[in-house]
Amino acid sequence: MDRKSRFIAQLVHVESEEEASAHQAAVRAKHYDARHNVPAWILVDGRERASDDGEPQRTSGLPTLEVLRGAGLKNVCCVTTRYFGGTLLGPGGLVRAYTAAAQAVVENARAEGLLVEMTSVVPVEVRVAYPQYEQVLHVAQNAGAHVAGTDFTDSVLMHLVFRAGEEAAFTAAMTELMAGRENVEVGNARFAEF
């Protein structure tokens, strides 16, 4: 609250421009009687957008977007609703109020454990004979792999996940260890929690 104006920030996970637009529409519908519903969003592919929604230019949307950037967030949409309290805050007051609302919602999400770290990862599948399993598992873990799963059939199929770039050391170690008899399949990089 700033001089009787109320600021309510809502932060959600989105994966597309359409999802960000849907969140904005939902907030506008819920807070139809508010003076302003200021959106800002950032996607992992680099697209981002902010609107001042009738506030003076660069006093609300951009400061909100700067908070999201500063927190290193991607695939998020923040909509800050302002109920006008009757007193004009001026450009500096608006920037401070919208910045504070966005910072508060980000910190609240962080405190509640709702923010997760996402990064570019590469899936790797390795098929080995049972006697080699422990040794290959050790090599994988030393190379920074996360074991996503293991299938035990006539052989062992390990489903590994590496941060993008870290799989190269593992595949080189496997070539050396298995003397060219390795059965390693490297997948395409994707954005995921690690």
pLDDT of residue 3: 58
Q: What does residue 129 show for φ and ψ, rounded to 5 degrees?
A: -75, 155
**Residue indicated by tokens 């700033």:** 2
- The CATH number of the structural domain formed by 118-193 is 3.30.70.260
For the chain, 194 residues long, give each residue's pLDDT as a single digit of tens.
545 778 999 999 998 999 999 999 999 999 999 989 999 999 988 899 999 988 889 999 999 999 999 998 989 999 999 988 766 677 788 999 999 999 999 999 989 888 877 788 899 999 999 998 999 999 999 999 999 999 999 999 999 999 888 998 998 888 888 776 778 888 888 877 76
Whether 30 contacts 24, CB under 8 Å: no
Burial (CB < 10 A; 0-12, 13-18, 19+), residue 32, is exposed
Q: What does residue 180 show for φ and ψ, rounded to 5 degrees?
A: 85, 0
What CA–CA distance (Å, rounded) separates 84 from 91? Answer: 14
6-111: CATH topology? Ribosomal Protein S5; domain 2 (3.30.230)
Please report which residue ranges of 37-179 form alpha helices under DSSP H. 61-70, 90-111, 133-142, 167-178
Nearest to 143 by CA among 126, 118, 158, 160: 160
Domain with CATH 3.30.230.30 in the chain: 6-111
